[in-house]
Structure 1
Amino acid sequence: MLGIDDVASRIESIGFHCRGCGACCRRVAEDSNLVLVSPAEVRAIMAATGMVWDEIAEPYPDFIDAENGGEYTLAWCIRRTADACRFLRDGQCSIYAHRPWICRTYPFMLADDDLLVSECPGLGAPLSTRDAHALGADLCRRRAAEEAEETGLCAVYREARVPPGRRAVIDSEGVKVLHG
Structure 2
Amino acid sequence: MTADDAPLDLDIEDELERARDLEVDVLADAIESIGFECTRCGACCTRDGDDEHTATVFPDEVRDLEGATGDEWRDVARPMPYGLHETADGDLAGETFEWALQTDSCGDCVYYEEDDTGTGACVAHEDRPLICRTYPFSVALGGTSQPMGEPVDSVALETQSDAGEADDEAGILRAHECEGLGRDISREDATDLARALKERAVRELEEAISVRDNYEPATPGGESVVVHDSEGAKRIDGTSLEVDGKSE
TM-score (norm 2): 0.65
The equivalent position to 1:25 in structure 2, one of 30, 45, 66, is 45
C-alpha deviation, 1:128, in angstroms: 1.4
Larger radius of gyration: 2
Match of residue 129 from structure 1: 187
% identical aligned pairs: 39
C-alpha deviation, 1:94, in angstroms: 0.5
CA distance in 2, matches of 1:131, 1:31: 31
2:140 touches 2:174 (CA, 8 Å); kept in 1? yes
C-alpha deviation, 1:127, in angstroms: 1.0
2:78 touches 2:236 (CA, 8 Å); kept in 1? no
Match of residue 33 from structure 2: 13
3-state SS of paired residue (1:146) = helix
**1:96-119 residue CA offsets vs partner (Å, 9 max, x unmatched):** 000011110000011212111111
Question: 1:73 is aligned with what amino acid?
Answer: T
CA distance in 1, matches of 2:28, 2:56: 24
1:37 aligns with 2:91: no
2:31 touches 2:194 (CA, 8 Å); kept in 1? yes
Match of residue 130 from structure 2: 101
The equivalent position to 1:177 in structure 2, one of 227, 231, 235, is 235
CA distance in 1, matches of 2:39, 2:188: 18
CA distance in 1, matches of 2:180, 2:219: 43
Runs (4+) of structure 1 moved beyond 6 Å? none
Matching of residues 99-178 of structure 1 within 5 Å = 99-112=128-141, 113-157=171-215, 159-163=216-220, 166-178=224-236
3-state SS of paired residue (1:121) = coil
Question: 1:84 is aligned with what amino acid?
Answer: D
Question: 1:111 is aligned with what amino acid?
Answer: A
CA distance in 2, matches of 1:80, 1:177: 18
Match of residue 57 from structure 1: 77
Q: Aligned residues, how many?
A: 174
TM-score (norm 1): 0.88
By percentage of residues, which structure has more helix? Answer: 1
C-alpha deviation, 1:160, in angstroms: 4.5
C-alpha deviation, 1:177, in angstroms: 2.9
Match of residue 149 from structure 2: none
